[in-house]
Amino acid sequence: MELIDLRSDTVTRPTPEMLEAMLRAEVGDDVYGEDPTVNRLQEMAASLVGKEVGLFVPSGTMGNLAALLAHCQRGDEVILGNKNHSFLFEAGGLSAFGGIHSCQLQNQPDGSLLLSEVEAAIRPDDAHDPITRLVCLENTHNRCGGTFQSAGYTRDLAELAHSRGLRVHLDGARIFNAATALGAAARNLAGPVDSVTFCLSKGLCAPVGSILCGDHEFIRRAHRARKALGGGMRQAGVLAAAGIVALESMISRLGQDHERAQRLARGLGEIPGIELENGMPATNMVFLRVAPPIELSDAELLAGLRKQGVLVGATGPRRFRLVTHYWITDAAVDRTVSAVNSCLSGSPAARV
Ligand code: TLP
């Protein structure tokens, strides 16, 4: 039985074309800046998001942390959403390694921050206060449901931040999903911000890696931070080669993942006891809640689905996340809907 893994788009395996490119990759020592494949990937990436320079990093987490370290000094404050990945799921790296203080604002349903709240959170120049240095956005926004924010919103936020002397970092782990959903170019979404991280190893299917982009001076600082964090890789062209294939051939197909997320949501939404948490999905994530009359525990549901070859993510009591990606076909979507249906209707075959 083929496993249907909907826990995340991070589970995507490299495509045959990527494996082929990895095998043929020309490499050098990237710590010396001598890996031609890494250099090419960084140039392509920077141009896609309209920035001067790109820096290949092992993960989105390191990209965000290197950005924070490059923008902030110890004791500086960053304004970010209380559901942002950097706040919730990066092991507190910003305070552990950067000594950076965080001011958490409530994310709006689309993942944005209210401009009025950002403005109110900027500290006065007073010796009692940390120095507000940076605002962090996330687009698409993972915990808000894979939602996206428009280029207009990003521009307004950046204008406000810049007018007060702050910089803006965008966690654009899935920026190409946002761009696809908006029918916009990624460079329009990233244009107004000072730095952006995006991931090659999520919907774009590369096995490893993210890119941090910004201007020369910012990337010079981020490069040093990457080294300090142990992210200076040597013959990384082997990985970058897959990243190049990802940028060349995987962005234009992301809409298929969004359509499949819609198909999945429509199917699941018809099952009694399932509530779609954010309505129809904006991109490639379906968040759902299992309503109280259903007696199955979360562990029983996960185990019942696993028995039928379906893996989904648990995101909280009676809350689950299903993420579509390259390896999820229409047939896999339909099989998932029937598996959930049979678990919830108490089919003995699905019980553990
Ligand atoms: N997100 C993962 C988990 O960590 C939750 C996932 O399965 O979605 N920014 C955003 C918005 C992310 O969703 C993630 C990964 C990251 C950064 C970190 O990327 P990696 O996993 O490459 O460190």
The partner residues of 169 in beta bridges, in order of sequence, read: 136, 195
Cβ–ligand 1 distance for 84 under 6 Å, the answer no
Residue 168: phi and psi, rounded to 5, are -130, 130
The atom number, within ligand 1, closest to the CA of 7 reads: 7
Q: Rounded to the nearest whole angstrom, what is the distance from the C-alpha of residue 173 to the centroid of ligand 1?
A: 7
Q: What is the pLDDT of residues 261-273, one digit of tens each?
A: 999 999 999 999 9
Cα–Cα distance, 248 to 342 (Å, whole number): 40
Max CA-CA distance within the chain? 66
- 152: which residues sit within 8 A by CB, 6+ positions away? none
Q: Running DSSP on this structure, what letter comes out for residue 11?
A: G
pLDDT at 215: 98
Place of tokens 């490893």: 208
On the question of pLDDT at 246 being above 70, the answer is: yes
Q: Rounded to the nearest whole angstrom, what is the distance from the C-alpha of residue 163 to the centroid of ligand 1?
A: 30
Length of the chain, in residues: 352
Q: What is the pLDDT of residues 295-317, one digit of tens each?
A: 899 999 999 999 999 999 999 99
Residue 78: phi and psi, rounded to 5, are -115, 135
Are the C-beta atoms of residues 315 and 288 closer than 8 Å to each other?
no
Concatenating the DSSP letter of every residue in 53-118 gives EEEEES-HHHHHHHHHHHH--TT-EEEEETT-HHHHSSTTHHHHHH--EEEEEPPPTTS---HHHH
Cβ–ligand 1 distance for 35 under 6 Å, the answer no
Cβ–ligand 1 distance for 171 under 6 Å, the answer yes
Cβ–ligand 1 distance for 138 under 6 Å, the answer yes
Cα angle, residue 269 at apex, residues 256 and 205 outer, rounded to 5°:
30
More confident site: 351 or 194: 194
Q: What is the pLDDT of residues 44-55, one digit of tens each?
A: 999 999 999 999
Cα–Cα distance, 155 to 152 (Å, whole number): 5
pLDDT at 348: 46
Residue 322: phi and psi, rounded to 5, are -125, 125
The atom number, within ligand 1, closest to the CA of 174 reads: 11
Q: What is the pLDDT of residues 160-177, one digit of tens each?
A: 999 999 999 999 999 999
On the question of pLDDT at 349 being above 60, the answer is: no
| Mean pLDDT computed over every residue of the chain | 96
pLDDT at 347: 45
On the question of pLDDT at 120 being above 70, the answer is: yes
Cα distances (angstroms) measured from residue 74 to each of 81, 95, 98, 116: 20, 9, 6, 26
Tell me what percent of the residues of the chain surpass a pLDDT of 70. Answer: 98
Cα–Cα distance, 352 to 345 (Å, whole number): 14
pLDDT at 351: 42
Q: What is the residue with the minimal CA distance to atom 15 of ligand 1? A: 60
Q: Rounded to the nearest whole angstrom, what is the distance from the C-alpha of residue 89 to the centroid of ligand 1?
A: 8
Q: Rounded to the nearest whole angstrom, what is the distance from the C-alpha of residue 127 to the centroid of ligand 1?
A: 36
pLDDT at 1: 79
Residue 143: phi and psi, rounded to 5, are -70, -15
3-class state of residue 309 by DSSP: coil
89 band by pLDDT with thresholds 50, 70 and 90: very high
Cβ–ligand 1 distance for 199 under 6 Å, the answer yes
Tell me what percent of the residues of the chain surpass a pLDDT of 90. Answer: 95
Cβ–ligand 1 distance for 61 under 6 Å, the answer yes
Cβ–ligand 1 distance for 88 under 6 Å, the answer no
Q: What is the pLDDT of residues 61-88, one digit of tens each?
A: 999 999 999 999 999 999 999 999 999 9
What mean pLDDT comes out for the span 274-289? 96
pTM, entire model: 0.96
